[in-house]
Amino acid sequence: MALNQFSKALLLIVLVGCSYQPEDPIDYNQEFQSILTTFDNSSILDLNADEYINNTLFLNFVSRLDGQKIHFLEEDLASFEDSQISRGNIYQNLKAVIDIFYQRYEESLKKRRELLTNHNFDLNIDESIKLNDRERFFTSSHEKTTYLRKLVKNEIIIQMLDGKAQNEAIAELKTNYRDRLSSLSKVRDEDKFGILANNFLSLIDPHSSYFSARDLENWNLRMNLSFEGIGAILGYENEVAKIEELMPGGPAIKSKKINVGDKVLKVGQGRTGRMINVRGWRLDDIVEKIRGADGSIVRLEIENQSGKEIIELTRGKVVLEESDAFSEIITRENTKVGYINLPSFYSDSECMRLSMYSCKSAANDVQKILRDFKLQDVEGLVFDLRNNGGGFLHEADYLTRLFIDSGPTVQIKDSNDNINVYTTWRTNRTWSKPVVVLVNKFSASASEIFAGALQDYNRAVIMGQETFGKGSVQRFTDTLNGQIKFTDSLYYRVSGQPTQIYGVTPNLLIPNLINNDDYGEKRYENAIKPSAINSAIYFVNNPLVDDNIEEIHKQALSASAYFSLLNEIKEKEANLEINLNYEKRVRERERSRTDSLKLINLRREISNLKQFQTYEEYIEFEDEDEFALDAEIDQSINILLELVEA
């Protein structure tokens, strides 16, 4: 977990306007003590951090830090457990663990690079590797080296499956490891502290986390769906920053002079500021140079196949449109059906503070779509919350109000057992026609509030898979130099049932490829385990799902070639061992591609789209504007039509 966060921070950074400025050097020991003090007795957990400062702390911390068990050795754990730990020295002890983690990680990268240079990989022998769910740490350096050899061999095979010769694959991986070691050399104390603090807090509560000033501003930018900057995403290759993505409507794409793949060599402020060479810099340092206020000017020296050029850009406001609510009208059996996909419960918090009615927000955007649907005589709605991880609580509340006349929407229980019932007394109902809400295992938090409320009111049929089960609410509070986000309340459905751990169980289940047991709140050992509370007072509509609806759904799934094939593929992919014989991997890949192509074409058949003849044709196909139904949406529409006709 820690390594993934670190890699993302270095390899994918949005160039946004931000007021963050580096502060004076931070005393991280004092900051950690501040985190402990702030956390004590302030969360719904009703405990303090001291309860976690014990002999099991190191083992739990190391397991959180190195979840795959591929960096630390058993002897490292033994040395940690010999340490005498107390509240006063906890930071120094955990910092020692972090330092050894980075040391072991660097050793692993160097060993893998060395293997690429010196080892003769035999791709014809039968052996395998288990990448996930390793049960223990390595007992010796020799055992670790054997595993790393297999890991590198697997990476070579992956490159070769993409069409590279073995020597080309090795050369590509050598470059990759050089870049990773270079990124590792740029790690600062603030990076290590962030990983230390977040991994420690996650031992107490999986949803508690630490935010530096920079982290907090970036979080707010993501939730607001807009920012000031040039509208680009930066990557890193061969010690040089590269343009990874251009955002629609941003200054960079509007200039028509910057393209994906261009290298950023120098940055200058204003029209006359000195151009500073940024080769070899950390990405976040380059971003600090490119950031700035709306209307200000930045100059970039860009290099591409045409040569070098200095581009002048005026920073501006960029809206993350890909995260907006998306809608479509589908005609089925002469009936118009509305479809809305909501990626998150977003909100422009600053605008909402001043004037909630004209702001960019999930509820406001959905309300506009619903009004348009009514004007176009749409008869029913499929509301897609799959992969929606949540967002602002008030947006879930406001969104629910669009579908009910009046009554409670959610209940919040704080750390003092006080219960606040969010209630709408004056109707804001915008949509009265039938609704199906589509969810999956990655629908969480605010998604579960909305889906759970509509299910309790019998206002919608919930379809898909059991949701994540995050029924907790977090708030921010200050530390000396940053903030922590911690759980201070739990939310409950209007029925009084907790969403925490249990999630929302659909009225009608739809199978999918993933193993749901591998995801969700249940897998956290330290997840809060709540009990039910009293039901709020609310009016329940007549049940929407009866035996007839259930039988129609069951028969449709049984008759579906798509879902039958999906179950077959799921059984085949249950094996956690990865084959390291190249010829066998090629055959496995071809079987997998054949199955995938069948699934893809079955899905396209639903939308009457052209079938792909080969997997390569599918890979090369690009049509970002094409809206295609998938099997879950299709099944949801079938049930929705039954509700419309009822």
Distance CA 45, CA 56 (A): 19
Average pLDDT, the chain: 86
Tell me which fold the domain 321-542 belongs to.
Answer: 2-enoyl-CoA Hydratase; Chain A, domain 1 (3.90.226)
- pLDDT interval class at 537 (50, 70, 90): very high
The closest of 114, 130, 122 to 157, measured between CA atoms, is: 122
Q: Are 426 and 379 in contact (CB under 8 A)?
A: no
Please report which confidence band the pLDDT of residue 288 belongs to, taking 50, 70 and 90 as the band edges: confident
Q: Is the pLDDT of residue 5 over 80?
A: no
**Range with the poorest average pLDDT among 81-95, 319-333, 409-423:** 81-95
Is pLDDT of 385 > 50? yes
Give the model's pLDDT for residue 18. 38
Lowest mean pLDDT among 93-97, 130-134, 491-495, 610-614: 130-134
Kindly tell me if the per-residue pLDDT of 287 is higher than 90: no
Largest CA distance in the chain: 74
Pick from 225, 232, 254, 250: which is nearest to 318 by CA? 250
Adjacent-strand bridge partners of 229: 16, 316
Q: What does the angle CA 93 – CA 96 – CA 98 come to, to the nearest 5 degrees?
A: 115
Higher pLDDT, 179 or 248: 179
DSSP assignment string, 370-399: HHHHHHTT--EEEEE-TT---B-HHHHHHH
How far is Cα 23 from Cα 494, in angstroms, rounded to an integer? 45
Who has greater pLDDT, 586 or 317? Answer: 586
More confident residue, 284 or 430: 430
Mean pLDDT of all residues in 453-463: 97
The token pair at 314 is 């005026």
pLDDT, residue 50, reads 62
Q: Looking at the chain, which residues constitute the CATH 3.90.226.10 domain(s)?
A: 321-542
Mean pLDDT confidence for 454-477: 94
Specify whether the CB–CB gap between 617 and 636 falls below 8 A: no
The secondary structure of 241-305 as a DSSP string is EEEEEE-TTSHHHHHTS--TT-EEEEEEETTTSPPEE-TT--HHHHHHHH---TT-EEEEEEEET
Return residue ranges of the chain for CATH 2.30.42.10.
226-319
- 123: confidence class by pLDDT, cuts 50, 70, 90: very high
pLDDT surpasses 90 at 246: no
- Inform me whether the pLDDT recorded for 49 exceeds 60: no
Mean pLDDT of 23-52: 75
Q: How confident is the model at residue 64 (pLDDT cuts 50, 70, 90)?
A: confident
Angle between helices 90-118 and 57-65 (to 10 degrees): 40
144-147: long-range contacts, CB 8 A cutoff, minimum separation 24? 144/70, 144/73, 144/108, 145/111, 147/70
pLDDT band at 47 (very low <50, low <70, confident <90, very high): low
Query: Per residue, what are the HEC states of 150-219?
Result: HHHHHHHHHHHHCCCCHHHHHHHHHHHHHHHHHHHHCCCHHHHHHHHHHHHHHHHCCCCEEEEHHHHHHH
Q: Are 413 and 492 in contact (CB under 8 A)?
A: yes
Model confidence band, residue 4 (pLDDT cutoffs 50, 70, 90): very low
What pLDDT, on the 0 to 100 scale, is given for residue 449? 97
One DSSP character per residue, 219-257 reads HHHHHHTEEEEEEEEEEEETTEEEEEEE-TTSHHHHHTS
Which of 19-28, 265-274, 418-427 is the least confident region?
Answer: 19-28
Q: Rounded mean pLDDT of 495-507? A: 96
Per-residue pLDDT, 8:
32
pLDDT exceeds 60 at position 23: no
Of 75-89, 158-172, 257-271, 371-385, which gets the smallest average pLDDT?
75-89
> Tokens 């999630």 correspond to what residue?
503
- Residue 467 pLDDT more than 70? yes
Q: Is the pLDDT of residue 628 over 80?
A: no
The torsion region of residue 503 among left (phi > 0), alpha (psi -120 to 50) and beta comes to left
The domain made up of 226-319 has a fold known as Pdz3 Domain (2.30.42)
Is the pLDDT higher at 291 or at 349? 291
Please indicate whether residue 257 or residue 306 has the higher confidence score (pLDDT).
257
Nearest to 453 by CA among 412, 503, 408, 419: 408
**Nearest C-alpha neighbor of 43 from the set 229, 205, 273:** 205
Question: What pLDDT, on a 0 to 100 scale, did the predictor assign at position 167?
Answer: 95
Least confident residue range of 40-44, 89-93, 103-107: 40-44
**pLDDT confidence bin for 318, thresholds 50/70/90:** confident
CB–CB of 634/628 below 8 Å?
no
What count of other Cβ atoms lies within 10 Å of the Cβ of residue 148?
A: 19
Beta strands in 526-588 (DSSP E): 577-579
CA 12 – CA 237 distance, rounded (Å)? 12
- Which one has a higher pLDDT value, 338 or 36? 338
Across 317-338, average pLDDT = 85
What's the confidence (pLDDT) of residue 85?
65
Judged against a pLDDT cut of 80, whether residue 296 lies above it is answered with yes
Single-letter code of the amino acid located at 295: G
